[in-house]
Amino acid sequence: MKKFINDPTHLTAELLEGMAMAYPQKIKLESEKLVCRAKPKSADKVALVTLGGSGHEPALQGWVGTGMLDISVVGDIFAAPGPPKVLEAFQKVKREAGILLVTLNHAGDVMSADMAKQMAEAEGITVKEIITTEEIRPSADEEGRGLGGCMLVYKIAGAAAEKGMTLDDVYRIGDKVNKNMATIAVLSEIATHPSTGGECGEMGEQEMEICAGQHGEGGGVRMDMKSSKDTAELLAGKVVEKLGLTKGDEILLMVNGSGKTTLMEMLITFRDAAKFFEAKGIKVVRGETGEFLTVQEAAGYQLIALKFDAETKALWDAPCDTPYYTVA
Amino acid sequence: MSTFDKSTLIRMLKQAEANIDTEHEALSKLDALTGDGDHGITIQRTMNAVGKALDDGMDKPLADLLKAVAMKVMMCDGGSTSPLLGSYFLGLASAATADELTAAQTAALFQAGLDNFSKTSKAKLGDKTMMDALLPATEALVQALHDGGDIPSAFSAASAAAAQGAEKTKDYVAKLGRARTMGQRAIGHYDPGAVSISHIFRGFAEAVN
């Protein structure tokens, strides 16, 4: 492993310190591993909290700030934070307006969130939870994991909260985003685990895997490496199927690089996917390319799409100001 | 040895921690085959938290000591390991009625641990999780104590059942946890969580024998 790091047991603490030092006007680090807004949101508005392991930068804490998250509870590399940390976040932002917790569907995160919610309820703190499950799996009866689409929920539900909508409305809108979005991942090279230096799985030289996970845990479908166009069309076809997209639909299309894949490849992929959608009369009205949720130096990307309606589109365009996503 | 008391449990958990310290690299390698390759670090961090909580709370009554262990475990960022083992220790704490326990109370202690673990885990036998080792180990322990077995032989039976349970995970498709998306490809690989539980129960047996 060749990485610019110090003590492998201090990776999370040091990266969070770095992020807080780089963006002091937007975020601050409180009681180790709670990333909070530099200027807290007013108490009459719903607070948004999320949790998850580190090692996926800029996700998830990179989206704490005005118009998106209030607190990101950070675990260690690829590992969910323990329930008491999540409870501490709830205690910090507890308010009459309520708290929306967004949890990505991974076993550890879901268990930790569940225990923390029970503890919060015992203290009279109101928390509603959305578990994101937008991943496309090889078989339709398998429940999807929560991948990079969480960012869309933070952005759109976060904008709703910032406008002063009620917890019920913020929840309804976040849930609508979760149900109308789809993410499909492709992996061509495996990451190394930055703490152990070991490879997170194995992958053949000429192989790629679709429906791959975020950590090299596999579970997708392996096939020979393909061109950008063939890969993008294969993935976009599955998105059309999952979301039931038809002529005239408007979508947000996002190509999220996993770490090693270059912006050049992401742009070529975006072009190929957008052309595929447009040939079907599906309008790509908003787009994003870049690194949102990464997995160290894994090569590949997540193709993320959201079927817009007027409400979600307007909230997507609403202003936000976070370290890694800003709308003026 | 026929009684079970706080100092026995402390020695057992310390031996379990020592076993995990020895095995953690092998456990991470095992995890790389079906997961993200860090189970060894996670379980080591968790068991080191157990050891630390025992050192810090040695003088507390058993129930309070186990609660302190549970809190320390849940403070670890251990993915699913920290809520799972945190629930286990909370379960143990709920049945730790005294610092010295009869055979029946010892059986009830470990049964309560399993019951609370199950509430968080929701896994069934054969789902390729920690449950595949913890459930048979607890059943063997409870049965042996019920049949009048002494503490050393009861924990030896539990350890053997945990090892057997972990061994069987090789033949299972994962239904929960990070390996669940592997489908048939997980067959032939051990579940690292179940293997960890077997090392922990082996530690329990080693400490009393």
Interface test with A, best of B181, B184, B191 (most A CBs within 10 A): B181
Amino acid, single-letter form, for residue A102: V
- Chain A residues whose CB is inside 8 A of the B40 CB are 196
Say yes or no for a CB contact (<8 Å) between A115 and B34.
no
Among the residue ranges A86-100, A136-150, A158-172, B89-103, the one predicted with the least confidence is: A136-150
Check whether B2 has a pLDDT greater than 90. Answer: no
Instruction: Give the gap in angstroms from C-alpha A68 to the nearest C-alpha of chain B.
Output: 24
Backbone angles phi, psi at A186, to 5 degrees: -130, 140
The closest CB to that of A84, out of B29, B74, B185, belongs to B74
Instruction: State mean pLDDT over A127-146.
Output: 93
- What is the end-to-end Cα distance of chain B in Å, rounded? 9
Instruction: State mean pLDDT over A159-170.
Output: 98
- Chain B residues whose CB is inside 8 A of the A80 CB are 77-80, 82
Asked whether A182 and A156 are in contact (CB, 8 A), the reply is no
Say yes or no for a CB contact (<8 Å) between B74 and A83.
yes
- Chain A residues whose CB is inside 8 A of the B32 CB are 193, 198-201, 216
Please give the share of chain A, as a percent, with pLDDT higher than 90. Answer: 86
Q: What is the pLDDT of residues A18-33, one digit of tens each?
A: 999 999 999 999 988 9
Q: What is each CA distance from B202 to A192, A194, B51, B197, B205, in whole angstroms?
A: 31, 30, 17, 8, 5
Give residue B99's pLDDT. Answer: 96
Give residue A6's pLDDT. Answer: 96
- Chain B residues whose CB is inside 8 A of the A51 CB are none
Residue pairs between chains A and B whose CB atoms are closer than 8 Å: 125
SS3 state at A80: coil
Among the residue ranges A161-170, A218-227, A239-248, B181-190, the one predicted with the least confidence is: B181-190
Check whether A193 has a pLDDT greater than 70. Answer: yes
Instruction: Give the gap in angstroms from C-alpha B143 to the nearest C-alpha of chain A.
Output: 30
Say yes or no for a CB contact (<8 Å) between B80 and A108.
yes
Residues 6+ positions from B94 with CB-CB distance below 8 Å: B63, B112, B116
**Better-scored residue on pLDDT, B77 or A146:** A146
Q: What average pLDDT does chain B have?
A: 93
Check whether A140 has a pLDDT greater than 90. Answer: no
| Strand arrangement of the beta sheet that strand A34-37 belongs to | A27-30, A34-37, A71-77, A47-54, A99-104, A127-132
Which of the four pLDDT bands, split at 50, 70 and 90, describes residue A215? Answer: confident
Q: What is each CA distance from A9 to A12, A194, A217, B45, B175, in whole angstroms?
A: 8, 9, 22, 11, 31
Among the residue ranges A57-61, A102-106, B184-188, the one predicted with the least confidence is: B184-188
Please give the share of chain B, as a percent, with pLDDT higher than 70. Answer: 99
Q: Which two tokens mark A152?
A: 């869309």
Give residue A112's pLDDT. Answer: 93
- Closest by CA to A16, choosing from A67, A68, A52, A66, is A52
B109: left (phi over 0), alpha (psi -120 to 50) or beta: alpha
Structural domains in chain B, sorted by start:
4-208 (1.25.40.340)
Interface test with B, best of A33, A78, A142 (most B CBs within 10 A): A78
Give the fold, CATH level 3, of A180-313: Hypothetical Protein Tm841; Chain: A;domain 3 (3.30.1180)
Say yes or no for a CB contact (<8 Å) between A107 and B79.
yes
Per-position b or e across A191-229, b if 16+ CB within 10 A of its CB: bbbbbbebbbbebeeeebbbbbbbbbbbbbeeeeeeebe
Residues of A with CB under 8 A from a CB of B: 12, 33, 53, 75-85, 106-108, 111-112, 114-115, 137, 142, 145, 193, 195-196, 198-201, 211, 213, 215-220
β-bridge pairing A47-54 and A283-290: unpaired
Asked whether B74 and A115 are in contact (CB, 8 A), the reply is yes
Residues 6+ positions from A155 with CB-CB distance below 8 Å: A63, A67, A68, A315, A316, A320, A325
Q: Does the annotation count A215 as an active-site position? A: yes
Q: Which two tokens mark A201?
A: 């799985």
- What is the end-to-end Cα distance of chain A in Å, rounded? 39
Say yes or no for a CB contact (<8 Å) between A193 and B37.
yes
Instruction: Give the gap in angstroms from C-alpha B101 to the nearest C-alpha of chain A.
Output: 29
Domain boundaries, chain A: 11-179+318-327, 180-313
Give residue B171's pLDDT. Answer: 92
- How many CB atoms are closer than 10 A to CB A44? 9
Q: What is the pLDDT of residues B116-157, one digit of tens each?
A: 999 999 899 999 999 999 999 999 999 999 999 999 999 999
Instruction: State mean pLDDT over A195-210.
Output: 85
Q: What is the pLDDT of residues B51-75, one digit of tens each?
A: 999 999 999 999 999 999 999 999 8
The enclosing H or E element of A127 equals strand A127-132
SS3 state at A307: strand
Which of the four pLDDT bands, split at 50, 70 and 90, describes residue B1? Answer: low
The closest CB to that of B36, out of A82, A142, A216, belongs to A216
Q: What is the pLDDT of residues A264-320, one digit of tens each?
A: 999 999 999 999 999 999 999 999 999 999 999 999 999 999 999 999 999 999 999
Q: What is the pLDDT of residues A216-268, one digit of tens each?
A: 666 789 999 999 999 999 999 999 999 999 999 999 999 999 999 999 999 99
**Residue A249 and residue B169: Cα distance in Å, rounded?**
46
**Residue B86 and residue B89: Cα distance in Å, rounded?**
5
Say yes or no for a CB contact (<8 Å) between A195 and B83.
no
Q: Which two tokens mark B181?
A: 């998306």
- Closest by CA to A304, choosing from A144, A103, A134, is A134
Superfamily of domain A11-179+318-327: Dihydroxyacetone kinase; domain 1 (3.40.50.10440)
β-bridge pairing A326-327 and A320-321: antiparallel
Half-sphere exposure of A162 (CA within 13 A, CB side): 21
Check whether A214 has a pLDDT greater than 60. Answer: yes
Give residue A283's pLDDT. Answer: 98
Does the model's ipTM exceed the 0.90 cut? no
Query: Considering only alpha carbons, which residue of chain B is nearest residue A212?
Result: B181
Give residue A216's pLDDT. Answer: 63
**Residue A302 and residue A258: Cα distance in Å, rounded?**
7
Amino acid, single-letter form, for residue A186: V
- Chain B residues whose CB is inside 8 A of the A53 CB are 77, 79
Asked whether A38 and A24 are in contact (CB, 8 A), the reply is yes
**Residue B36 and residue B34: Cα distance in Å, rounded?**
7
Check whether A83 has a pLDDT greater than 70. Answer: yes
Say yes or no for a CB contact (<8 Å) between A217 and B182.
yes
Backbone angles phi, psi at A194, to 5 degrees: -70, -15
Query: Considering only alpha carbons, which residue of chain B is nearest residue A113?
Result: B83
SS3 state at A204: coil
Q: Does the annotation count A106 as an active-site position? A: no
Which of the four pLDDT bands, split at 50, 70 and 90, describes residue A323? Answer: very high
Instruction: State mean pLDDT over B162-168.
Output: 97
Beta bridge partners of residue A307, listed in sequence order? A251
- Chain B residues whose CB is inside 8 A of the A79 CB are 38, 42, 77-79
